[in-house]
Amino acid sequence: MQEGENMSKFDMVSEFYITPNENDFALTGICGVGYNDFHFVKPIKHFHTMYYPSLHFILSGEGTYRIGDASYDLHAGQMFLVLDGCPMCYYPKEGKEWRYVWFSFYSKKLYSFLDTVGINENNVVANIKDPKKTEELLLKIFEMDNKQGNTAFAALSLFFEVLSCERTEPFEREGRKQHYVSTVKKYLEDNYSRPDLKIESLCDRIHLSHSYMSRIFREIEGCSIMNRLEDIRMERACFLLTATDFSVSRVGYSVGYNDILHFMKRFKRKYGMTCVEYRQEKKNLKI
């Protein structure tokens, strides 16, 4: 947290929220905006669903966000998206209770703007680009008043002001995609020999859904992640067949296959010959 006036404003209250009237809610698509530090509110650790999506900006502390089968350990300087109708729960870490400001909305148009800050249903967690500036902007929620008729419009204005601060340019988003793909490729290169290799584990670590990662990988590389993994394993198998006297079984185990029969079938399908034939052909070429 920041020192001085900004810090004291957030410290003055434990919970604060604004709920627009029905007319303004319908006009703006904003359902509410608020602040919470969980000092008095009991965290909900069981899965439940929300009627409307909401975007949360973590100002300090740490916590956990679970959605579906994914679990994220979050901290200050990050934002996360809660999806409507999707089983989830989120709660602070004991002793390091988080503080956050949230916006809830129902408009599909507002939802579509989230992609400009690198967050969407496939990527529900992102780092806040400028935490200090974003926090300063979010202090404006304390200037809102439920008794005023323009609450929803003030909340909508603040919502766009924060998104504008966090906005990433198209080329930045494309660069982020390339970074994710490069991360997956390195992960495959480093872990291809593990029979239990799971892309889901990597996706959880970088806060991406498996479906989104698979889509952008195919978009950039022109093949699926599993196809790339098999290519790496087969290339390594070819090297071992040529450079060592390892048995076919040992080669298969070395490149990540527990089922050697499956390995031999995949090898023959890819190269049009058995492992033994491949090894013999390479030996003949050396003579």
One-letter-per-residue 3-state SS of 154-166: HHHHHHHHHHHHH
Angle between helices 170-191 and 210-221 (to 10 degrees): 100
Give the pLDDT confidence score for residue 255 in this predicted structure.
Answer: 95
The whole-chain average pLDDT of the chain stands at 83
Hey, what CATH topology would domain 233-286 get? Arc Repressor Mutant, subunit A (1.10.10)
Give the pLDDT confidence score for residue 57 in this predicted structure.
Answer: 94
- 34: nearest Cα among 51, 59, 71: 59
Decide which of 2.60.120.650, 2.60.120.280, 3.40.50.620, 3.40.50.720 is the CATH code for 5-168: 2.60.120.280
Give the pLDDT confidence score for residue 150 in this predicted structure.
Answer: 64
- Looking at per-residue pLDDT, the higher value among 254 and 211 belongs to 254
- 32: nearest Cα among 118, 106, 137: 106
pTM metric for this prediction? 0.59
DSSP 93: B
* Confidence band of 3 (pLDDT split at 50, 70, 90): very low
60 phi and psi, to 5 degrees? -160, 165
Host H or E run for residue 220: helix 210-221
- What would the DSSP string read from start to end of 38-87? SSSSPPEEEEE--SS-EEEEEEESEEEEEETTEEEEEETTEEEEEPTTS-
Host H or E run for residue 17: strand 15-18
Mean pLDDT of 86-103: 90
Q: How far apart are CA 232 and CA 219, in angstroms?
A: 19
Mean pLDDT of 65-77: 90
* Confidence band of 14 (pLDDT split at 50, 70, 90): low
Residue 61 confidence (pLDDT) above 60: yes
Residue 235 confidence (pLDDT) above 70: yes
Count, residues in the chain: 287
